[in-house]
Amino acid sequence: MLSAGQNLRVLRERLGLTMRDVETWSAAIAARHQSDEFAIPPSRLSDIETKGVVPSIYRLYSLSVIYRKDAREILTWYGVDMNKIAEDIPLASPPKSHKSEALENVSSVHIPVRMDPSFDPRYTVNMGRLVEQWGVVPLTYLAQFADRRYTYGYVGTDDFTMYPILPPGTFVQIDESKTRVIDGAWRSEYERPIYFVETRDGYTCCWCALQQEGLVLQSHPLSPVPVRVLKHPQEAEVIGQVVGVAMRIGEWTTVETLPVPKEREALN
């Protein structure tokens, strides 16, 4: 198996380029961007190709341009696969709720490509046992499913606003076309729309109501987070309605560290 440097050398020679060619064109790129960081002298290119020296992000960009190669593929030669972001995201848990944009430029994903024919969506099942084959699929093939109405959010580890319906660490899908706050008589808390709201302090998921005083951000009755009333839209903007949820159960905290519900605090 060729090393990253050897792959770069093979690519250069396949294009009929000399080290001087790379030096000349990288200098032109450096001049255009007004930064010598993009320039690649022959001695440095030789070290990259033969001594395992890792190019800087600027020189990697120049190599990508000169060799007509996607920078993400060159990164994979160095063991950095940008398509692994989806697998690594759960390893980091920012404390504040936020819009998740890390997956927007992922070029391929692992998805089920063959399911057990006995699968019936009416019943609760172990999906892992129903997937007969997983495969890597370029996202361009999924363009037919693209819908710009949706964005994705993550409930921060310190955000208990909708606990226990949306515990910290939950990923949510947001329909950005549904920004109008709906009033109604809901038969249960699960029917009441949950909105993804941007405030001056950041993002949050909550129930909402419009009043003369402004936008009421209502937390779950068992949540320790108090109800807030903010000016709308100056202090709070509804990004959209939560229409999908993905969460882990039983892994984000221990029983000893659960927050004290507001109702219990009132009794004390």
Q: What is the CA radius of gyration of the chain?
A: 25
Q: Are 54 and 47 in contact (CB under 8 A)?
A: no
The CATH number of whichever domain residue 249 belongs to comes to 2.10.109.10
Q: Are residues 243 and 181 in the same domain?
A: yes
On whether both 109 and 136 belong to a single domain, the answer is: yes
Q: Is residue 213 part of a domain?
A: yes
Q: Are residues 191 and 259 in the same domain?
A: yes
Taking residue 104's Cβ as centre, other Cβ atoms within 10 Å add up to 9
**pLDDT (tens digit per residue) in 32-55:** 999 999 999 999 999 999 999 999
State whether 140 and 157 are in the same domain. Answer: no
From 21, 45, 77, the end of a domain falls on 77
What is the C-alpha separation between 40 and 37, in angstroms, rounded?
A: 8
- The reply to whether 82 falls in a domain is no
Q: Has residue 192 got a pLDDT over 90?
A: yes
Q: What's the pLDDT tens digit per position in 221-266?
A: 999 999 999 999 899 999 999 998 988 776 655 445 555 555 555 5
Q: How far is CA 181 from the centre of its chain?
A: 26
How many domains does one find in the chain? Answer: 3
- Domain containing 23 equals 4-77
Tell me if 74 sits within 8 A of 63, measured CB to CB.
yes
Statement to judge: residues 170 and 228 lie in one domain: yes
Q: In this structure, are 154 and 141 located in the same domain?
A: no
* 1 burial via Cβ count (<10 Å: 0-12, 13-18, 19+): exposed
Q: Cα dist. 177→9, 195, 227 in Å?
A: 49, 12, 25
